[in-house]
Structure 1
Amino acid sequence: MRIGLYPGTFDPITLGHIDIIKRASTLVDRLVVGVAINRDKGPLFSLEERVAMVEAECAKMTVPGGPEFVVHPFENLLIDCAHDVGASMIIRGLRAVADFEYEFQMVGMNRALDSSVETVFLMADARRQAIASKLVKEICRLGGDVSKFVPDEVNTALMERLHGKA
């Protein structure tokens, strides 16, 4: 069984993340979406809320005979999370050259820790390259419309969290 791990904080999950999840799922039998706890980032949504959002979106992609989706919260090293879930590959989405520079360093460190776990990069769809959770939260916080960047349920959750309304 080919198992891939797509890690992130998903605070919140965006249409860019969903695009990578859909495309990554064609490469594996089981895709584990690792939701990082990462207290240093000070997430807007709790771990439980982020896991629920990711689970809801993955449920929409589940089809009989298709790849299995598993949502797995983690707080340890990424390579240790890969071991925990049995992943032979880590999947990362790239939006721009700046992403590559950071990811290149991460691959080097992960390969030094365990060279048997490969990293696969998927380029963001051109229509989704500008989407970043941080920017989505900022736009929404300042009253902008983020409905074209996130699923409807996530847009509602953002409006409730940041403005007290749906």
Structure 2
Amino acid sequence: MKKKAVFPGSFDPITLGHCDIIERGLQLFDEIVLAIGVNSAKQYTFGLEERKRFLEETFAEESRISIATYNTLTVDFCKSVEAQFILRGLRSTKDFNYEQPIAQTNRVMAGDVETVFLMASPEVTHISSSIVREIMKYNGNYQNLVPYTVRK
């Protein structure tokens, strides 16, 4: 059986931190679905189609990655695409404290979907989409924080 994971996020925008987790996740899983969550209550810097395009262009050469959008519970989305795993990245204990109860709740709701955490590589632990957005807002240099597809 193929091991399939969903890597959910808003990807507003995708960063080198996301890329780190995705590329390392490919060592563990046969396929990864990059799932852009749609939350109508949230204000995004980049539109849904633009975020989707960033992901498609960043991973255009990787056949084991697909991109999708969803507006349901992540575990329900996992079941709809027949994924057995949720892939999440952790930069710090703060991320762990946020992610742990979500993973435990997902486990209660869907015991057949397992959450797998990867620690971010040291060189990208300081990168977050919110920091990138703030730098962009004030026309700062964010070039070394995002993949080429966002820089162009």
Ranges in structure 2 where 5+ consecutive residues have no aligned partner: none
Larger Rg: 1
Q: Is the 8 A contact 2:58 2:149 kept in 1?
A: no
**Identity level (%):** 38
User: Do structure 1's residue 38 and structure 2's residue 39 form an aligned pair?
Assistant: yes
What are the residue-to-residue correspondences of 1:4-83 with 2, within 5 Å? 4-60=5-61, 62=62, 68-83=64-79
Query: What SS does the aligned partner of 2:145 have?
Result: coil
d(CA) in 1 for partners of 2:13, 2:40:
15
Q: Which amino acid aligns with 1:3?
A: K
d(CA) in 1 for partners of 2:42, 2:23:
26
The higher-RCO structure (CA 8 Å, 6+ apart) is 2
d(CA) in 2 for partners of 1:146, 1:9:
18
Ranges in structure 1 where 5+ consecutive residues have no aligned partner: 157-166
d(CA) in 1 for partners of 2:36, 2:151:
19
Query: What SS does the aligned partner of 1:59 have?
Result: coil
Instruction: For residue 140 of structure 1, report the CA deviation from its aligned partner.
Output: 1.5
Match of 1:137 in 2: 133
What TM-score do you get using the length of structure 1 for normalisation? 0.87
Match of 1:117 in 2: 113
Query: What SS does the aligned partner of 1:26 have?
Result: coil
Instruction: For residue 59 of structure 1, report the CA deviation from its aligned partner.
Output: 1.2
Measured on the aligned residues, the alpha-carbon RMSD in Å equals 1.1
d(CA) in 2 for partners of 1:24, 1:81:
19
4+ runs deviating over 3 angstroms: none
